[in-house]
């Protein structure tokens, strides 16, 4: 009888080399199914210190010692080193094993065997090592057969479910693919019995709880599926010992299956990103006039977007191009598409990684208000960005969502272009769920003038003294002016917004008027100041 990756003590004793020595088991016959990792022969007194565990130790007893205390201590040290069994050849040293050795082995739970005939230890070692190597090779062959079947399944058009199914049948236990934080992605049963009928019940019972995900059941096999970079983990394979125990060969097979799953997931992500970029290219070509309005419906139909005669609502989400790590655009596109599915309208989503944009068109169904749809779409876009890890505490640039004006195919291109430019101009504005592209026209105009020296001169003339004051003193006058103008000169509302009492606000406004030499009640002065405050985002 063999064992995973080697042989048992029982099998070693049954091989011709040891069988010729007429082996007699003196202790722990019930432990002869221990695995033999290696064979070692030696006679040194310090032999226990040289062993690593799992060895079948062959000796004539020369190093065991002559006094009972020495013999008991020697056997205890051997047992502590974790050897599989001790085999002593009788002869010049011992005609029969002393009671101290036998009792110590029995007490330590160590199988003790005496050989009544002399055997060549070299031949015994060679035979057992050959058996162990053959056992390891047999394991590799079984694991490679799983790898071959998984590869054939993928080449035949299968995916992750087919690979998991093959692994589950091989292990005769359920197999799961989960995210690194423990969320279930796929599950596969054995195809027979209650476990195969519903592996999700197994997941909920043995793996679904948070604490169970952190501490897997005893005997489970967990194998990481590598991600896109060094040390990155994309997912995790979990084999649970429900129908039977899991052995070394199952871990080998799982490791080979994990490599195939990594390739499948990478390919799926690449294909998904290519498709998303293709949709983004179409929407960009439409925005830049390279697709005629008359040809656009047919091309959009090929991409799966068929809005009928409903008005089209252009929307653009903008991110910083370098805020999206490699490979995250596919995840973003999928997450956004899944989130927008809940909106319940036809939608075409693309990505433009170079510009850091996610352009999309959606159909505005009759009876649906544009602001309500915009709210739902903006929420879906932000949720998708969050799922892709591109929005939140770690995001360097806030997400900006701009909604254009609805219209037909003839207006869709211009609407997308307007929304895309407005999204760029809106960077740095106060964060909102979404912006109406039409309300950003002044910011867009100022953004287009950002490199013109006259714009910087205008800003410096209009609010330069305030910028200098806030740079050298407390930064309070520019925020005060911004709040005052945002509330159309209503001092009570500005004071509440700034958390100031009215007298403090009055003092600051007086100081602003003094530094600028202007009247804050003059409409022309207010207009100039408002434009300067909006333009300063685009000037150094």
Distance CA 89, CA 93 (A): 9
Distance CA 535, CA 91 (A): 101
pLDDT digits (tens, 9 = 90+) for 9-21: 998 899 998 999 9
Q: Reduced to 3 states, what is the DSSP secondary structure of residue 540?
A: coil
> Would you tell me which CATH number, out of the four given (3.40.640.10, 1.20.1250.20, 1.10.10.2840, 1.10.260.40), belongs to the domain 453-538?
1.10.10.2840
Of the candidate ranges 302-306, 318-322, 354-358, 385-389, the one whose mean pLDDT is the lowest: 318-322
Provide the CATH topology of domain 2-131.
3.40.1390
* Residue 113, number of CB atoms within 10 A of its CB: 26
The pLDDT score that the predictor gives to residue 28 is 93
The pLDDT score that the predictor gives to residue 344 is 77
pLDDT (average), residues 208-223: 71
pLDDT at 337 over 60: yes
pLDDT digits (tens, 9 = 90+) for 167-183: 988 888 888 888 777 77
The pLDDT score that the predictor gives to residue 22 is 94
The better pLDDT of the pair 339, 460 is held by 460
Identify the sign of the CA torsion 98, 99, 101, 105: positive
**Domain boundaries, given as residue ranges, for the chain:** 2-131, 145-267, 276-448, 453-538
Distance CA 337, CA 350 (A): 9
Q: Reduced to 3 states, what is the DSSP secondary structure of residue 25?
A: strand
Distance CA 519, CA 510 (A): 9
Residue 383 structure tokens:
């949720």
According to DSSP, the residues that pair with 7 across neighbouring strands are 2, 36
Domains 145-267 and 453-538 share a fold: no
The pLDDT score that the predictor gives to residue 7 is 82
pLDDT at 391 over 70: no
Identify the sign of the CA torsion 295, 301, 307, 308: positive
DSSP assigned state of 241:
-
According to DSSP, the residues that pair with 24 across neighbouring strands are 114
Residue 209 structure tokens:
């709880």
The pLDDT score that the predictor gives to residue 57 is 92
- Give the pLDDT band (50/70/90) at residue 104: very high
Distance CA 412, CA 176 (A): 45
CB burial class (10 A; 0-12, 13-18, 19+) of residue 199? Answer: buried
pLDDT (average), residues 478-486: 88
DSSP assigned state of 216:
P
The better pLDDT of the pair 208, 87 is held by 87
Mean residue pLDDT of the chain comes to: 84
* 217 within 8 A of 246, measured Cβ to Cβ: no
Distance CA 474, CA 532 (A): 20
- Give the pLDDT band (50/70/90) at residue 196: very low
* Residue 243, number of CB atoms within 10 A of its CB: 18
Furthest C-alpha separation in the chain:
119
Nearest to 26 by CA among 81, 93, 108, 91: 108
Residue 446 structure tokens:
């100022």
Share of the chain above pLDDT 90, in %: 24
Continuous H helices in 156-247: 160-171, 193-197, 199-202, 210-214
Residues 6+ apart with CB under 8 A from 480: 494, 498, 505, 508, 509, 512
> Would you tell me which CATH number, out of the four given (3.50.50.60, 3.30.450.40, 3.40.50.2020, 3.30.70.20), belongs to the domain 145-267?
3.30.450.40
The pLDDT score that the predictor gives to residue 193 is 40
- Give the pLDDT band (50/70/90) at residue 46: confident
The pLDDT score that the predictor gives to residue 195 is 40
**Tokens 């090592």 map to which residue?**
129
pTM comes to 0.53
According to DSSP, the residues that pair with 361 across neighbouring strands are 314, 348
The pLDDT score that the predictor gives to residue 206 is 61
pLDDT digits (tens, 9 = 90+) for 417-456: 999 999 888 877 777 889 999 988 888 898 888 888 888 8
Q: For Cα atoms 347, 351, 354, give the angle at the middle one, nearest 5 degrees.
A: 160
- Give the pLDDT band (50/70/90) at residue 230: low
Distance CA 511, CA 187 (A): 68
User: Long-range contacts: 159-162, Cβ < 8 Å, 24+?
Assistant: 159/264, 159/268, 160/185, 160/186, 160/261, 160/264, 160/265, 161/186, 161/188
Nearest to 88 by CA among 9, 21, 34, 17: 21
- Give the pLDDT band (50/70/90) at residue 89: very high
């Amino acid at each position: 009888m063999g064992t995973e990756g080697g042989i048992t003590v029982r099998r070693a004793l049954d091989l011709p080399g040891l069988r010729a020595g007429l082996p007699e088991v003196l202790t722990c016959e019930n432990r002869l199914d221990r695995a033999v990792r290696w064979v070692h022969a030696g006679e040194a007194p310090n032999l226990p210190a040289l062993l690593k565990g799992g060895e079948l130790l062959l000796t004539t007893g020369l190093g065991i010692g002559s006094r009972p205390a020495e013999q008991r201590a020697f056997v205890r040290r051997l047992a502590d080193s974790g050897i599989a069994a001790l085999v002593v050849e009788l002869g010049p040293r011992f005609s029969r094993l002393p009671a101290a050795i036998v009792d110590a082995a029995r007490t330590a739970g160590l199988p003790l065997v005496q050989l009544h005939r002399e055997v060549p230890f070299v031949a015994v070692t060679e035979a057992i090592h050959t058996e162990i190597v053959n056992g390891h090779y047999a394991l590799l062959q079984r694991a490679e057969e799983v790898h071959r079947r998984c590869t054939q399944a993928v080449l035949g058009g299968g995916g992750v479910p087919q690979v998991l199914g093959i692994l589950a049948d091989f292990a005769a236990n359920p197999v799961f693919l989960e995210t690194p934080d423990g969320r279930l992605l796929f599950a596969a049963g054995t195809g027979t019995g209650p476990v195969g009928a519903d592996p999700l019940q197994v997941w909920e019972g043995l793996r679904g709880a948070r604490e169970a995900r952190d501490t897997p059941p005893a005997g489970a096999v967990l194998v990481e599926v590598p991600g896109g970079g060094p040390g990155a983990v994309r997912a995790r394979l979990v084999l649970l010992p429900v129908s039977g125990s899991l052995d070394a060969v199952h871990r080998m097979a799982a490791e080979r299956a994990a490599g195939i799953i990594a390739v499948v997931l990478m390919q799926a992500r690449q294909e998904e990103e290519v498709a998303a970029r293709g949709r983004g290219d179409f929407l960009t070509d439409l925005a830049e006039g390279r697709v005629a309005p008359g040809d656009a419906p047919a091309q959009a139909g090929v991409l799966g977007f068929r809005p009928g005669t409903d008005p089209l609502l252009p929307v653009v989400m903008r991110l910083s191009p370098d805020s999206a790590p490699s490979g995250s655009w596919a995840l973003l596109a999928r997450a956004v598409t899944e989130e927008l599915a809940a909106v319940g309208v036809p939608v075409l989503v693309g990505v433009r990684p170079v510009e850091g944009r996610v352009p999309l068109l959606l159909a505005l169904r009759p009876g649906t208000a544009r602001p309500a749809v915009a709210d739902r779409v903006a929420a879906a876009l932000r949720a998708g960005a969050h799922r892709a890890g591109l929005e939140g505490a770690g995001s360097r640039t806030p997400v900006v969502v701009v909604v254009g004006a609805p219209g037909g195919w003839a207006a869709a291109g211009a609407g997308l272009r307007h929304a895309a430019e407005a999204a760029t101009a809106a960077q740095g504005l106060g964060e909102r769920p979404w912006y109406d592209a039409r309300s950003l026209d002044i910011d867009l105009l100022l953004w287009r003038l950002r490199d013109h020296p006259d714009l910087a001169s205008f800003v410096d003339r209009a609010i330069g003294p305030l910028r200098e004051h806030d740079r050298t003193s407390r930064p309070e006058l520019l925020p005060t002016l911004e709040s005052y103008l945002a509330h159309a000169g209503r001092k009570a509302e500005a004071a509440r917004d700034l958390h100031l009492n009215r007298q403090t606000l009055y003092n600051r406004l007086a100081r602003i008027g003094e530094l600028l030499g202007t009247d804050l009640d003059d409409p022309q002065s207010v207009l100039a100041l408002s434009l300067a405050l909006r333009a300063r985002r685009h000037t150094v």
